[in-house]
């Protein structure tokens, strides 16, 4: 496990993106917020440079997220294409839920990172953000298996 964790590259966020994520999360509260992340692979990990907030059209937006299909398709065909997905957990810690893991199979291979945010009440921060790499494997029968690997997350001050 130790060797494996050593290979988990960091995810870096521009501080402006961190602010946008926090704002969107708080604006949508108590509903889940969602959107896509723009960026690129950079030396030593992923670098997230922009965020495109989306409307959550889930029937139960308190406990689920479904990005608006029109906004979703528009973002996918835009340049640059999204490299990651963000959503919030307004009522629980920012760890992937079973339905989050299930939803990974709907994401194309251009999606490399996965960010989850939660409102934070015990620190001097607006939100707690956690970052994950989307890991795609196939099991012995060739079935795709998806995992989220927790990655160090840094905000870049400019």
* Sole window of 14-22, 35-43, 96-104, 135-143 interacting with Zn ion (rule: CB under 5 A): 96-104
Q: Which of 14, 24, 51, 100 binds Zn ion (CB under 5 A)?
A: 100
**With CB under 5 A, what is the number of residues at the site for Zn ion?**
2
Our finding on whether 97 is near Zn ion (CB under 5 A) is: yes
For residue 96, give the H/E element and its range: none
Our finding on whether 92 is near Zn ion (CB under 5 A) is: no
Nearer to Zn ion, 38 or 148 (CB): 148
Beta-bridge partner residues of 87: 34, 116
From the list 90, 105, 92, the residue with the least C-alpha distance to 136 is 105
Beta-bridge partner residues of 11: 46, 153
Our finding on whether 14 is near Zn ion (CB under 5 A) is: no
- For residues 65 and 87, the answer to whether their CB atoms sit within 8 Å is yes
């Amino acid at each position: 496990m130790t060797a494996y964790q050593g290979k988990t590259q960091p995810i870096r966020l521009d501080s402006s993106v961190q602010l946008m994520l926090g704002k969107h999360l708080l604006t949508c509260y108590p509903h889940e917020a969602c959107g896509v992340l723009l960026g690129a692979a950079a030396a030593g990990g992923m670098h997230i440079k922009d965020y495109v907030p989306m409307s959550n059209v889930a029937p139960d937006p308190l406990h689920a997220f479904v990005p608006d299909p029109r906004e979703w398709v528009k973002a996918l065909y835009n340049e640059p294409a999204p490299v990651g997905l963000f959503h919030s957990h307004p009522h629980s810690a920012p760890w992937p839920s079973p339905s989050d893991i299930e939803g990974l199979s709907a994401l194309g291979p251009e999606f490399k990172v996965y960010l989850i945010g939660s409102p934070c009440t015990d620190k001097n921060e607006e939100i707690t953000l956690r970052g994950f790499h989307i890991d795609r494997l196939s099991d012995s029968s060739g079935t795709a298996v998806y995992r989220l690997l927790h990655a160090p997350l840094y905000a870049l001050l400019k």
